[in-house]
């Protein structure tokens, strides 16, 4: 048992050992630790070869040794018995080899590491304790075998020595053998291994063994490499063995020597080499021996059964424990710090080169752990110490990582860096949503140099005069500099000379034409120039005079006030002239001038005379003609008869049209001959006025500021006060850029000469486009400052840059009124210099500001101005690019010259890539050579490698579908499954889309039956598209709630909603409460839904006042009696048996049948809902156009008695359903309100044949007081699950700021008003601003304005205003209703004005209400718009009117009117009232109209928008002044009528596919006659008479039918309505139908459609 | 007529000197490629991680291309920006990587760099923020003499892309 286990154990160990060889690095510590035990083992075996060594072993050790040997022996025996021969051999080899290997190590261990030997004892002890396991019998047995074994081994070693020679020669082959065996062994052991692994129980032994194996392995490995090398490289000479031997000997000797100094392990290694050689030799022997054994075994085994060839093996599995051990056997270097002594040679102190002053580079950063591990590892390596330097650390190169960039700077390349690679320094950008990059940084330099006051309130009188003088003198200087009069005089003289020369040269000869013209031109020029010169001279003279005058005034003033304030002094330099010469010149001048003027006048005269003559001629001719005409006419008149009058008329008309022409030439008057005497006189006068008199001295004024100012001490008190005031003041200038203050100058005190020097330069770095530059002059007195004036500075052109821009002066002034009690003259104060106070002047503060605004220049001398192409607002739009086509014309584009001209003109930027092609073209053109196409192809070799063409791509239907879906084209939006292959995509998919594209321009008349409506529909579509685009932006604007869905944490303490509170309530509440409350459900976001998830829950509770069947007794005529005979008994008992049928999206459900006119069903119907295209997004749901039809039917059962031919008493009954009325609720309403609860008025037809209503329907609103008329049905409608309505987007749109033309203040006020309202009464709608069709925000009151209804309504009942009112309301209600949500595909409420509404003929409740309200206002009623909530519309608009009899509420879309206290009024809440001048928000306790007061003047009930604090700013209305109504063509209406009838008939037949549909033409015609009456009476009061009539005519038939009435918008709703009544569903075979349609036209294409539908059954 | 789906996400960025990063991305393709559906450019949110160094965006990318040729295989251009404490943002790195051409799931880490600029600019960047940017960031992805730029290595953007290719084998392109 034990022995077999041992075998396994050993095999396992062997296997492990072999595996160990894979690991090159051994565990150093372990090796050291195990050395003694190894030595012990070895020592026991050694006596066979080296007896001397074992002599010094103690007895205990020897015992162990014997045990060990015994075990080995036993093992060998067992192995020899077993068939696993190979492993045995190997084992043997290794055993022996280890002996050799460790012999030198033993010595080493003995001598140097005494301590370690001691410390290692325990392992050996444990080994000892483990060994007694074998039983004693085995022990004895093995003892004997051990001896035998030893003997054998001794003999073997002898043999080995003999065979050594041979072995060396054979070594390669043997090596080969060995290797082969090795692998085999490994394979074997691995197979057996798992068995032993589990039972392994003496690790120390294992360790020892492993070490031995390792050693053996190493020993064997080394020579292998060497020998193989030798084998391949050397020629083996016969003398080699000797050599080898001698080498071995040498090594032996060497090892002996080296063992003595015991410093390095080298010798040991070499020794190992030698040992290895020996080992191999030994193994060879052994293997030989093994062969024998094996053969013996084989022989022995032959008798065994064949099963022996099969080996049953266990599943291969390395236990966890083993694996742990395996891992622990790996060499893991310790991470502890290695003591320096180990790393350094013995007795050497670490030497630090750095301390000795030598340069040592910085060591690279290595973590200490890593370094330790590395050191530990290196130390275990052979020659490991060579890695360590003198300082005991690992030798390293200095740290290679450089601090700075080592790349060469490439300075030479910096300049021609590719433009794309150039970098721009961008400052960090700050913007809301990370928009586009800024366009660049620009800089405007503002240089404020100073300002001079031309008037200032603190001016004294003298200052005023001085300023005036200075101003005049400035003028004088500028004039003198330009010297216009001098220039003009010279020019004049030159011209005169030229003229004279021309005349002189040619004399009196006949002048050629050209010359004449030249002379004429000259004289004209002379004339003009003279005129100009005169003017200039006059100006000069007056200026001079003024200067002198002002100076005189100053002098007088100074004398008068006894002090001087201004340093001005005027010198007049006199220049004497030669009197005679002067006079001569003067005279000559006058003469020439007089002559010239004479000549001119003469010429004029001649011209005029010629003209006169011509005119006279003409006039005369005309006279003659007239006379002739008159004669002719007279003749005609006389000779012509009556029928020629037309012609005459024409003639007269013709003469009339000719009239103005003929009357044109008045009788000309002859021109006057000029008076030549007066001319000279005039010239002289003028000369004396404007020119210096001959001999007069020339005066040159010179203004100097050299005068002295009287010091303050000498001045009177008032003046001193003024001066003090001046010194107190200082000025500064604010620089405003785009109305924002960007900087300001320091304040400079005002000097006594009223000049301020700032000389400050501001650099404005700008990002925004400059719109305005503004300098504000501020005056500072003490600490308070006031704005004096503003100077608007134009934004400089981009070419104006700092340095080149001149300083400009800008004048400024202010109209501030300032008055002083001292000498200061003030501003805006009348001031007179005359002693009598006359001739007052009012002086305003004014002055000149000198500044310079220019674009800054960057460091690189590049102006930091925006490029020219960037438009700087409207002012600079002229600077834009010249458009090439406009410049050169389209044809010129082929003309190279013109293009180049244009290019230079428009200053094309040659670097702009946009212009690259043009530039290239120009270059080619200018160089004049057409070179080979050196074009650049962008995608090189693209074509060659394409595997499909563009056409193919385009053709692919799949791709097209995908792209269209991605683009969100309505037809493909939310298209779910795109086929995987193009071939699977059918053309059908695109059909609709293609058709729509094709039809975009073609108006489809068929669908709309009316061209006007088709046009409107198109227009609506256009608006819709533009609105959608506008709202796309809003959709992308996400709110937090869109992205983060957070469940609200229920509060613990809360009464209702809190957990605790709720639970407590739950405990207390009854299981079945008497009045159950509807609970708020969790809302579901729509995107997770799919078809079938959503259902529509309709709870039909009860109905009131359903029409009852008419007892037929009152009907006259026998026939009718007999007709209803069968069911008479029934009728007498049952009034009506109504049931409700709900149809939605073609799903029809119905309730049970109830009894009586006030039935109670209380049933819940569930209708499935599927969104179009499966799009359950908010927008998708909002665009669902389906409606819920709730129809009330009467279930009529008759007996089909007639069919009963037999006598059998079977009764056949037929069930018919008769339509009584319907309620339509659009899905969008349900969706937006999420639940609808209330009583709805059922839309009942005006006439119900066979039924009677207690009261007539709603019409003349006098009758409305009667309570309880009309049929009502109580419903509760909701969706399961509750979908989140598009509230979020609503909010978003609110957040979106629409552009508006309203005042900013008004918008703000309205926002605060709405917010306050929403905060206090969240359920009351409050609207102050609305969005119009252009997407602009408009204040609501602008929509209210009295507007005139069509005249025919007013004329209809001139005496009955109430009738007119109802007519108007009816008219408004006839305009089709179309919710904005549907039409504009999003929850945006757009308000159109009344004219737009009438053009579009479609609108929301608001539009109806506004129109109705406006009409009412025109009719002189007090009317308001009510913004409130109603059922079923939700938030809506109604109209409130105030009559003497009380308040009335009008439903604009149905035309109904309710009294205030009518409980059936659909209006539930009133949010606010709107009139044309104010909005009132309801702040009363109750919001339902019944409980409210409508006294809007009471501010505690109604909160007005415009109050005293914020008054009405006088908003003009957006409505037109007058509505234009088109007369609707009756022919078109009847045309439409026929078409509707035809379509409906077709449809009814289509709906009855299995039955023949017969039309009763007679009935048709009767009904047709009847419909116009209904329209006229507005569907009431005719019912009775009509019924009688009908019964008389069609007595034999049982009739069920009714007229339907609706406004006309499209054909589809009419068909829907007809379908929903279910008249066609009659299955009786002999049924006939009657159908009549009547279309009544109202102005502006408002059409009222009546459809009379009846089914007739012959009994 | 082959098709390529790129579905994945920009996971985040790590190794940048500052947190609070966002990324602008764009997919560039050659002329032969046609976008059938999906957004080919976008911008992530700003992520300022409270713990850890990695900024996570988890920004989805879902593109569907059709192509008639292999040239201009889509590549992803990335720009990492940093939003500082004042709410200003500045460029932190350019990077681009090719969309893998083998089908399957790929984890890509795209290294980024930014232009260094002159020393004045570097100094300005330290004190007032901002930094040099390329005048035309598009050309850099193909520019041959990019080596002239002085750049600084920035962090890594990690992407996870799933690539589905279709019908490439029909045209002799083996994957």
- Which stretch of DSSP H or E encloses residue A700? strand A698-704
Residue A80 has pLDDT above 50, yes or no: yes
In this predicted model, which residue has the larger pLDDT, B69 or A1626? Answer: B69
**Between B69, B70, B133, which is nearest A423 by CB?**
B133
Q: Is the pLDDT of residue A618 over 80?
A: yes
**Are residues A152 and A20 in contact, defined by beta-carbon separation less than 8 angstroms?**
no
Burial label for B141, CB within 10 Å (0-12, 13-18, 19+), is middle
Partners of residue B119 in chain A, C-beta under 8 Å:
none
User: B47, B58, B68: best mutation site toward chain A, by most A Cβ within 10 Å?
Assistant: B68
- Please check whether residue A424 touches B, CB under 8 A: yes
Q: Which of B64, B84, B132 sits opposite A428 (nearest CB)?
A: B84
pLDDT of residue A660: 43
Best of A420, A936, A944, A949 to disrupt the B interface (most B CBs within 10 Å) is A420
A492 in Cβ contact with A529 (< 8 Å) = yes
Angstroms from B35 CA to nearest CA on chain A: 8
- Smallest CA–CA distance, residue B107 to chain A, in Å, is 27
Give me the residues of B, 2-41, that contact A with CB < 8 A: 2, 22, 30-32, 34-38
B133 chain-A contacts, CB cut-off 8 A: 423-426
Q: Is the pTM here over 0.90, yes or no?
A: no
Least confident of A198-202, A467-471, A1117-1121: A1117-1121
- Beta strand A1446-1451 with A1456-1459 is antiparallel
pLDDT for A773 = 81
Which among A417, A426, A430 has the least Cβ separation from residue B131? A426
**Pairwise CB contact (< 8 Å): B145 & A418:** yes
- Residue B25 clears pLDDT 70, i.e. is over it: yes
Q: Is A309 exposed, middle or buried (0-12, 13-18, 19+ CB in 10 A)?
A: exposed
- A1322 pLDDT tier (thresholds 50, 70, 90): confident
Query: Left (φ > 0), alpha (ψ -120 to 50) or beta: where does A204 sit?
Result: alpha
* Nearest-angstrom CA–CA distance, A1062 and B8: 46
| Residue of B40, B66, B137 for testing the chain A interface, max A β-carbons within 10 Å | B66
* Beta-carbon separation of B37 and A941 below 8 A: no
Averaged pLDDT for residues A668-676:
68
Query: Do B68 and A413 count as a contact with CB atoms less than 8 A apart?
Result: no
Can you tell me the mean pLDDT for A985-1008? 69
Which of A421, A429, A947 has its CB closest to that of B148? A421
Chain A, nearest residue to B122 by Cα: A425
Residues of chain A with pLDDT > 90, as a percent, come to 0
Interface of A with B in 702-741 (CB under 8 A): none
Q: In the structure encoding, which two tokens stand for residue A162, read together?
A: 């003999």
Between A938 and A1652, where is the model more confident? A1652
Q: How confident is the model at residue A1032 (pLDDT cuts 50, 70, 90)?
A: low
Over residues A1195-1212, the pLDDT tens digits come to 887 766 554 455 556 667
Which ipTM was obtained for this model?
0.87
Taking 60 as the threshold, does the pLDDT of residue A117 lie above it?
A: no
Average of pLDDT values for A736-741?
Answer: 81
Q: Is A111's pLDDT higher than 50?
A: no
Percent with pLDDT over 70 in chain A = 60
Quick: pLDDT tens for A807-838. 888 888 877 777 777 767 777 777 776 666 66
Q: Which of A141-145, A261-265, A738-742 is least confident?
A: A261-265
> What's residue A17's pLDDT?
62
Name the pLDDT band for B162 (thresholds 50, 70, 90): very high
Percentage helix, strand, coil, to 5, in chain A?
50, 15, 35
A424–B89 CB contact, under 8 Å: no
Chain A residue numbers touching B140 (CB-CB < 8 A): 420-421
H-state helical runs in A82-135: 85-112, 114-119, 121-130
pLDDT of A86 higher than 80: no
Cα torsion A1642, A1367, A1016, A1348 to 10°: value is 100
pLDDT top residue among A911 and A873: A911
pLDDT exceeds 90 at position B57: yes
The whole-number pLDDT of residue A580 equals 83
- Nearest CB to A947; choose among B69, B88, B139: B69
pLDDT of A497 strictly over 70 = yes
pLDDT of A9 over the 60 cut: yes
Helices A85-112 and A2-20 cross at an angle (nearest 10°) of: 70
DSSP string, A990-1034: HHHHHHHHHHTSS--HHHHSSHHHHHHHHHHHHHHHHHHHHHHHH
Please answer whether residues A1236 and A1431 qualify as being in contact, where contact means their C-beta atoms are separated by less than 8 angstroms.
Answer: yes
Rounded (10°) CA dihedral B145, B148, B150, B153: 40
pLDDT for res A1156: 81
B45: nearest Cα among A1035, A427, A434:
A434
pLDDT confidence tier of residue A912, bands split at 50, 70 and 90:
low
Q: Give the β-pairing of A1108-1109 and A1337-1339.
A: unpaired
Q: Which band of pLDDT confidence, cut at 50, 70 and 90, is reported for residue A1332? A: confident
- The whole-number average pLDDT for the span A1255-1282 is 62
pLDDT at B44 over 90: yes
**Residues A959, B70: C-beta atoms closer than 8 Å:** no
A1129 with A1198: CB under 8 angstroms?
Answer: no
- In our burial notation (b when 16+ CB lie closer than 10 A, e otherwise), range A802-833 reads beebeeebbebbbebebebebbbbbbebebeb
- pLDDT top residue among A1109 and A885: A1109
Task: Work out the mean pLDDT of chain A and round it to a whole number.
Answer: 70
Of the candidate ranges A96-100, A240-244, A1460-1464, the one whose mean pLDDT is the lowest:
A96-100
Output the CA–CA distances (angstroms, integers) from residue A831 to A673, A805, A836, A841, in the order listed: 51, 40, 11, 5
CB atoms A426 and B90 under 8 Å? yes
Question: Has residue A440 got a pLDDT over 80?
Answer: no
Give the pLDDT band of residue A83 (cuts 50, 70, 90).
Answer: very low
* Each residue's pLDDT tens digit, A576-613: 777 788 888 888 888 888 888 888 888 888 888 888 88
pLDDT per residue as tens digits for the range B95-114: 989 999 899 999 999 999 98
Q: What is the pLDDT of residues A529-581, one digit of tens each?
A: 888 888 888 888 888 888 888 888 888 888 887 777 777 788 888 777 777 88
pLDDT at A289 over 70: no
Alpha-carbon span A1140 to A179, nearest angstrom? 100
Cα angle: A1363, vertex A1586, A1368; to 5 degrees? 20
Question: Does the pLDDT of residue A993 top 90, yes or no?
Answer: no
pLDDT tens profile B59-87:
999 999 998 888 889 999 999 999 888 88
How far apart, in whole angstroms, are the C-alpha atoms of residue A1010 and residue A1539?
10
């Amino acid at each position: 048992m034990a022995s077999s286990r041992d075998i396994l154990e050993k095999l396992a160990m062997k296997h492990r050992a072999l595996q160990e060889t894979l690991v090159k690095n051994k565990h150093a510590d372990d090796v050291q630790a195990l050395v003694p035990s190894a030595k012990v083992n070895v020592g026991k075996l050694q006596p066979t070869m080296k007896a001397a060594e074992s002599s010094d072993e103690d007895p205990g050790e020897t015992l162990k040794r014997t045990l060990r040997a015994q075990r080995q022996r036993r093992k060998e025996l067992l192995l020899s018995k077993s068939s696993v021969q190979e492993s045995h051999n190997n084992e043997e080899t290794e055993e022996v080899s280890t002996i050799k290997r460790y012999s030198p190590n033993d010595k080493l261990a003995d001598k140097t590491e005494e301590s370690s030997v001691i410390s290692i004892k325990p392992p050996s002890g444990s080994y000892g304790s483990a060994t007694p396991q074998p039983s004693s019998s085995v022990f004895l047995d093995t003892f004997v075998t051990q001896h035998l074994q030893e003997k054998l081994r001794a003999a073997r070693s002898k043999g080995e020595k003999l065979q050594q020679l041979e072995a060396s020669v054979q070594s390669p082959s043997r090596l080969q053998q060995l290797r082969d065996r090795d692998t085999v062994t490994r394979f074997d052991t691995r197979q057996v291994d798992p068995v032993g692994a589990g039972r392994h129980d003496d690790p120390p032994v294992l360790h020892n063994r492993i070490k031995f194996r390792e050693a053996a392995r190493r020993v064997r490995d080394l020579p292998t490499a060497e020998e193989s090398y030798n084998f391949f490289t050397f020629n083996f000479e016969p003398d080699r063995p000797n050599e080898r031997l001698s080498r071995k000997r040498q090594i032996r000797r060497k090892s002996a020597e080296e063992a003595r100094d015991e410093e390095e392990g080298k010798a040991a290694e070499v020794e190992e080499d030698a040992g290895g050689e020996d080992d191999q030799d030994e193994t060879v022997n052994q293997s030989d021996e093994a062969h024998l054994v094996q053969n013996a075994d084989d022989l022995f085994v032959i008798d065994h059964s064949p099963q022996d060839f099969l080996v049953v093996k266990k599943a291969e599995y390395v236990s966890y424990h083993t694996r742990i051990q395996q891992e622990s056997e790996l060499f893991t270097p310790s991470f502890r710090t290695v003591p320096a002594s180990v790393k350094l040679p013995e007795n050497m102190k670490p030497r630090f080169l750095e301390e000795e002053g030598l340069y040592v580079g910085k060591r690279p950063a290595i973590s200490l752990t890593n370094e330790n591990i590395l050191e530990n590892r290196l130390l275990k390596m052979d020659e490991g110490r060579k890695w360590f330097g003198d300082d005991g650390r690992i030798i390293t190169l200095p740290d290679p990582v450089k601090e700075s960039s080592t790349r060469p700077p490439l300075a030479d390349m910096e300049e021609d860096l590719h433009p794309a690679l150039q970098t721009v320094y961008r400052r960090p950008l700050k913007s809301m949503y990370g928009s586009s990059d800024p366009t660049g940084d620009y800089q405007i330099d503002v240089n404020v140099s100073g300002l001079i006051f031309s008037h200032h309130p603190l001016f004294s009188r003298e200052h005023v005069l001085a300023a005036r003088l200075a101003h005049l003198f400035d003028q004088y200087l500028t004039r003198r500099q330009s010297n216009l009069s001098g220039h003009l005089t010279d020019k004049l003289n030159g011209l005169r000379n030229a003229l004279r020369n021309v005349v002189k040269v040619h004399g009196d000869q006949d002048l050629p034409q050209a010359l004449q013209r030249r002379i004429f031109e000259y004289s004209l020029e002379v004339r003009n120039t003279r005129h100009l010169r005169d003017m200039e001279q006059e100006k000069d003279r007056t200026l001079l005079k003024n200067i002198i005058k002002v100076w005189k005034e100053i002098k007088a003033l100074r004398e008068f006030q006894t002090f001087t304030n201004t340093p001005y002094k005027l010198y007049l330099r006199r220049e004497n002239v030669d009197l005679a010469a002067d006079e001569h010149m003067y005279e000559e001048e006058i003469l020439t001038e007089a002559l010239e003027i004479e000549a001119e006048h003469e010429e004029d005269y001649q011209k005029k005379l010629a003209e006169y003559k011509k005119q006279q001629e003409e006039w005369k001719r005309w006279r003659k003609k007239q006379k002739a005409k008159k004669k002719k006419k007279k003749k005609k008149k006389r000779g012509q008869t009556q029928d020629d009058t037309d012609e005459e008329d024409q003639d007269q008309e013709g003469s009339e049209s000719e009239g103005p022409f003929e009357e044109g030439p008045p009788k000309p008057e002859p021109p006057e001959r000029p008076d030549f005497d007066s001319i000279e006189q005039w010239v002289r006068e003028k000369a004396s006025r404007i020119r210096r008199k001959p001999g007069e001295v020339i005066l040159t004024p010179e203004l100097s500021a050299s005068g002295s100012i009287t010091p303050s001490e000498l001045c009177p008190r008032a003046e001193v006060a003024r001066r003090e005031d001046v010194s107190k003041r200082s000025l500064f200038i604010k620089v405003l850029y785009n109305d924002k203050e960007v900087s300001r100058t320091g304040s400079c005190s005002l000097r006594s000469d009223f000049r301020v020097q700032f000389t400050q330069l501001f650099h404005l770095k700008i990002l925004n486009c400059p719109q305005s530059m503004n300098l504000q002059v501020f005056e500072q007195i003490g600490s308070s400052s006031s704005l004096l004036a503003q100077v608007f500075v134009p934004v400089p052109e981009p070419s104006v840059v700092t340095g080149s821009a001149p300083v400009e002066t800008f004048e400024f002034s202010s109209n501030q009124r300032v008055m002083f009690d001292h000498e200061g003259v003030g501003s805006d104060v009348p001031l007179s210099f005359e002693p009598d106070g006359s001739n007052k002047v009012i002086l305003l503060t004014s002055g000149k500001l000198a500044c310079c605004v220019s674009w800054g220049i960057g460091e690189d001398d590049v102006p930091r101005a925006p490029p020219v192409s960037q438009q700087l607002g409207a002012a600079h739009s002229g600077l834009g690019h010249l458009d090439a086509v406009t410049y050169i014309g389209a044809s010129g584009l082929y003309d190279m010259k013109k293009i180049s001209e244009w290019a230079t003109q428009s200053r094309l930027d040659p670097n702009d890539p946009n212009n690259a092609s043009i530039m290239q073209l120009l270059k080619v053109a200018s160089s004049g050579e057409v070179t080979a196409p050196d074009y650049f192809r962008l995608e090189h070799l693209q074509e060659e490698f394409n595997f499909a063409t563009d056409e193919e791509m385009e053709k692919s239907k799949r791709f097209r579908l995908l792209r269209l879906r991605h683009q969100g084209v309505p037809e493909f939006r939310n298209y779910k499954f795109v086929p995987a292959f193009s071939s699977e995509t059918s053309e059908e998919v695109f059909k609709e889309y293609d058709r729509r594209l094709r039809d975009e321009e073609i108006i489809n008349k068929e669908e709309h039956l009316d061209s006007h409506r088709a046009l409107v529909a198109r227009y609506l579509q256009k608006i819709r598209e533009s609105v959608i685009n506008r709202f796309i932006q809003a959709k992308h604007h996400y709110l937090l709630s869109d992205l983060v869905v957070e469940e609200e944490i229920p509060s613990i303490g809360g009464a209702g909603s809190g957990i605790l509170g709720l639970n407590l309530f739950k405990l207390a509440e009854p299981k079945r409460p008497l009045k159950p409350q509807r609970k708020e459900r969790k809302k579901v976001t729509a995107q997770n839904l799919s078809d079938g998830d959503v259902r529509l829950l309709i709870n039909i509770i009860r109905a009131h006042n359903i029409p009852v069947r008419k007892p037929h007794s009152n009907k006259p005529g026998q026939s009718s009696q007999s007709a209803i005979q069968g069911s008479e008994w029934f009728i007498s008992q049952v009034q009506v048996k109504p049931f409700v049928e709900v149809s939605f999206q073609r799903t029809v459900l119905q309730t049970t049948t109830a009894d009586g006119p006030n039935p109670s069903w209380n049933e819940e119907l569930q209708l499935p809902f599927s969104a179009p295209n499966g799009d359950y997004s908010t927008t998708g749901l909002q665009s669902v156009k389906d409606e819920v039809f709730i129809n009330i039917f009467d279930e009529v059962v008759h007996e089909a008695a007639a069919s009963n031919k037999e006598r059998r008493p079977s009764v056949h009954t037929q069930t018919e359903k008769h339509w009584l009325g319907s309620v339509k609720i659009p899905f969008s309403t349900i969706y937006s309100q999420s639940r609808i609860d209330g009583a709805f008025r059922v839309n009942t037809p005006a006439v119900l044949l066979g039924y009677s209503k207690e009261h007539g329907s709603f019409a003349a609103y006098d009758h409305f007081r009667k309570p309880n008329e009309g049929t009502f049905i109580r419903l509760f409608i909701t969706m399961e699950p509750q979908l989140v309505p598009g509230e979020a987007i609503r909010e978003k749109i609110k957040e979106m700021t629409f552009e508006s033309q309203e005042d900013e203040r008004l918008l703000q006020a309205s926002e605060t008003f709405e917010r306050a309202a929403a905060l206090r009464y969240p359920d009351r709608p409050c609207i102050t601003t609305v969005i119009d069709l252009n997407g602009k925000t408009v204040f609501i009151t602008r929509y209210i304005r009295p507007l005139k209804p069509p005249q025919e309504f007013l004329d209809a009942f001139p005496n009955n205003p109430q009738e007119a009112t109802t007519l108007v309301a009816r008219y408004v209600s006839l305009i089709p209703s179309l919710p904005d949500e549907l039409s504009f595909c999003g929850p945006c409420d757009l308000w159109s004005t009344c004219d737009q509404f009438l053009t579009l003929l479609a609108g929301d409740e608001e539009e109806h209400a506004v129109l109705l309200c406006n009409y009412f206002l025109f009719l002189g009623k007090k009317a308001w718009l009510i913004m409130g909530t109603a059922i079923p519309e939700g938030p809506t608009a109604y109209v409130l009117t105030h009559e003497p009899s009380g308040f009335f509420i009008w439903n604009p879309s149905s035309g109904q009117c309710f009294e205030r206290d009518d409980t059936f009024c659909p209006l539930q809440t009133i949010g606010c009232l709107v009139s044309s001048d104010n909005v009132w928000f309801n702040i009363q306790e109750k919001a339902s109209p019944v409980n409210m007061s409508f006294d809007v003047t009471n501010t505690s009930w109604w909160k007005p928008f415009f109050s005293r604090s914020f008054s009405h700013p006088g908003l003009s209305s957006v409505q037109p002044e007058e509505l234009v109504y088109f007369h609707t063509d009756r022919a078109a209406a009847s045309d439409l009528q026929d078409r509707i009838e035809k379509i409906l008939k077709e449809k009814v037949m289509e709906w009855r596919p299995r039955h023949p549909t017969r039309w009763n033409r007679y009935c048709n015609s009767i009904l047709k006659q009847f419909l116009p009456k209904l329209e006229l009476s507005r569907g009431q009061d005719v019912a009775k008479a009509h019924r009688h009539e009908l019964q008389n005519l069609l007595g034999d038939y049982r009739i069920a039918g009714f007229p339907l009435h609706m406004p006309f918008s499209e054909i589809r709703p009419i068909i829907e309505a007809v379908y929903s009544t279910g008249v066609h569903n009659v299955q009786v075979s002999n049924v006939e139908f009657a159908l009549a349609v009547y279309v009544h036209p109202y102005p502006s294409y408002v059409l009222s459609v009546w459809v009379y539908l009846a089914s007739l059954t012959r009994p | 007529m082959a098709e390529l789906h790129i579905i994945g996400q920009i996971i985040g960025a790590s190794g940048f000197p500052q947190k609070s990063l966002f990324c602008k991305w764009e997919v560039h393709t050659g002329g032969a490629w046609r976008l059938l559906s999906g957004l080919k450019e976008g911008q992530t949110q700003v992520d300022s991680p409270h713990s850890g160094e990695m900024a996570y965006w988890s920004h989805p990318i879902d593109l569907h291309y059709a192509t008639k040729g292999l040239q201009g295989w889509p590549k992803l251009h990335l720009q990492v920006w940093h939003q500082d404490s004042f709410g200003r943002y500045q460029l932190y790195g350019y990077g681009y990587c090719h969309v893998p051409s083998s089908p399957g799931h790929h984890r890509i880490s795209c290294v980024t760099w930014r232009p260094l600029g002159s020393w004045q600019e570097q100094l300005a960047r330290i004190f007032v923020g901002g930094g040099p940017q390329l005048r035309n960031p598009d050309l850099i992805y193909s520019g041959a003499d990019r080596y002239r730029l002085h750049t600084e290595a920035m962090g890594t953007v990690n992407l996870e892309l799933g690539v589905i290719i279709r019908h490439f084998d029909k045209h002799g392109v083996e994957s």
